[in-house]
Amino acid sequence: MGRGKVELKRIENKINRQVTFSKRRNGLMKKAYELSVLCDAEVALIVFSSRGKLYEFSSSGSMTATLEKYQRCNLNPMANSIGTETQNWCQEVSLLNAKYESLQRTQRHLLGEDLGPLSLKELQSLEKQLEGALGQTRHRKSQVMVEQMEELRRKERHLGDVNKQLKIKQESSGVHEYRGLPCPWGTGLPMHQQHAQSSHSNPMLSDHEPAPLLQIGYEQQYVQGEGSPDIPPNNNIAGESNVTYGWVL
């Protein structure tokens, strides 16, 4: 008759718990020894009792050596990962430094510096690059100049339209200026042209008739009698002559 299935729970009886611990501990030690012998494996077993007593087994004969080996194996994946990442970063930094030096060397060559080490083929390639860059630069320059000319023409047309609008507005308002002063006749013509235009429009005015003059100052005028233009001025009773002084138009 076989043994029944043992329920896995803490044994409450202290004596039975101690007996079970001793039996199973010895069986565990035996199984670890058998595993190390049969499979040629390095086995280390550490057991602490409930009272803190240490029980250990090491197939290599040195628990310390086995533990050191365990620590190296446990920390090795992390160390390998850090080492691999560091190596990758170093390689990337090296590639970036090489690319930076190459770009600097190319820039110096484009500026016409350090051309001595270049071969004929490299010089021809550099010449083609410069010609292509020069053609693109000139093409872009032409585009910019055309755009600026179009902008100037647009501004010119706009200013012309504004000028026409101002001219139409000035003609419609009927206000003209002559030498910076408004002309009351509204013709915008000088004085002598206005007089000539008025003489042509009015047939009563003669061509040889002098224009009205504005004379400022005192001038003697003799009041002559009708029908006697050569008679000198007459004196009145008080002996005063008929002389008029004043402003004469």
Which residues have CB under 8 Å from 36's CB, separation 6+? 42, 43, 59
195 and 212 in contact (C-beta within 8 Å)? no
Q: Is the pLDDT of residue 198 over 60?
A: no
Q: Is residue 35 one of the residues assigned to a domain?
A: yes
> In the prediction, which pLDDT does 26 show?
92
Counting residues of the chain whose pLDDT is more than 70, the rounded percentage is: 64
Q: Is residue 218 one of the residues assigned to a domain?
A: yes
Average pLDDT, integer, range 167-190:
61
| CATH, residue 80 | 3.40.1810.10
> In the prediction, which pLDDT does 155 show?
95
Question: What is the pTM for the complete model shown?
Answer: 0.32
Instruction: Pick the last residue of a domain from 98, 114, 143.
Output: 98
pLDDT in tens, 74-119: 766 665 666 677 878 888 898 899 899 889 888 888 888 888 888 8
Q: Is residue 180 one of the residues assigned to a domain?
A: no
> In the prediction, which pLDDT does 157 show?
94
The domain of 43 spans 14-98
Tell me which of 5-19, 35-49, 69-83, 207-221 is least confident.
Answer: 207-221
Task: Name the average pLDDT for the chain.
Answer: 75
pLDDT in tens, 109-136: 888 888 888 888 888 888 898 999 899 9
